Amino acid sequence: MSSRTDRNRVIVTAGGSGIGRAIVDRFVAAGAWVHTCDIQQKFLDDVIASHDRVTGSQADVGIPGEVEALVADALETMGGIDVLVNNAGIGGPRAALEDINYEDWDRTIGVNLNGMFYCIKNVAPHMKAQNFGCIVNISTASAKVALPMRSPYVASKVGVLGLTHTVAREYGPFGIRCNAILPGLIDNDRGRGIVANQAAERGISAEEREAEFLEFISLKCWIDPSEVGDLAVFLASDAGRHITAQEIGMDGNVEWEI
C-alpha cells in the first residue's frame, strides 16, 4: 500500500471467510484500515476480533438499503473510502439452464452483479470528491472458459467484466481505477469441498476429480486465497496506479473446465 494515510481506507465485501477474509488480512498486513461486511454475524465478529484496524457491518450486498448502510458505516468509522474490493458472491444453482428456477437465477445475478453495482454506485461519489479511488471486482476464471450447469454464476461473473471496463472508462477522468481479478481453483475448504462433492456425484475419488481439474490448468496448481489478497493490495498500491480496465487471472491459466 501507499504510505499516504488517505489511501489506506478500504471496504471489502464478504470479508468474514474465504477469499474475502484473505483479502482483509493482506490489506491489514499492508497497513490499511478495513471496513468489511458479511451476511453471517459469526464470521463478521471473528474477523473484527482478529484485527484492531478492522470494523464491520452485517449486510447482504444484494439489498440496496443494506449497501447504503454499509457505506455510511464505513464513512463514519474510517472518514473516507479509498479502495473498494467487491468480493461478495454466491455460487448459485448447479443445474441445466432449463431446470433453473427464476428465483435462483435472480438471486445469483442480484448478489454477484447487482451487488457490485450497488456498492460502486454508493462509493463512487466519495471517490470522485477526492479525485482518487481504486475498485477491484472479483470475477472468476470461469468467465473466460464458460462452465456447463452453472449458467447464472457464469453470466453474472461475465457481467462483472463488462461493469469493470465501463466503470474504468467512466470514472478514469476522476482518478478512479477499476480492475477485475479472476481467481482459479482456490485451495480452501470451499474449493476442496467442491472437488470432493463432484467426485462423490460421479463415483470417483477426490484425487481423480482433482487430477481432472488440474489437467486443464497450465501450471497444474491450486491458488492460495492469500495470493488473491496480495494482488488486490498491489492493484490498490502506488505501484498499480496506472493499471485500470484489466482482467487479471490469478489462476495458473485455466484453459478449460469440465
User: Which positions are annotated as active-site residues?
Assistant: 153
CB 185 within 8 A of CB 225: no
- Distance, CA of 152 to CA of 37 (rounded, Å): 24
C-alpha cell at 219: 501450471
Cα 142 off chain centre by: 14
CB 238 within 8 A of CB 174: no
Helix axis angle, 41-50 to 18-29, nearest 10°: 20
If DSSP codes are grouped into helix, strand and coil, which group holds residue 238? helix
- Distance, CA of 87 to CA of 155 (rounded, Å): 16
- Distance, CA of 245 to CA of 13 (rounded, Å): 20
Phi, psi of 118 (to 5 degrees): -60, -45
- Distance, CA of 225 to CA of 256 (rounded, Å): 21
CB 16 within 8 A of CB 46: yes
Q: Which helix (H) or strand (E) segment is 25 a member of? A: helix 18-29
Best CA proximity match to 36, nearest among 89, 1, 87: 87
If DSSP codes are grouped into helix, strand and coil, which group holds residue 38? strand
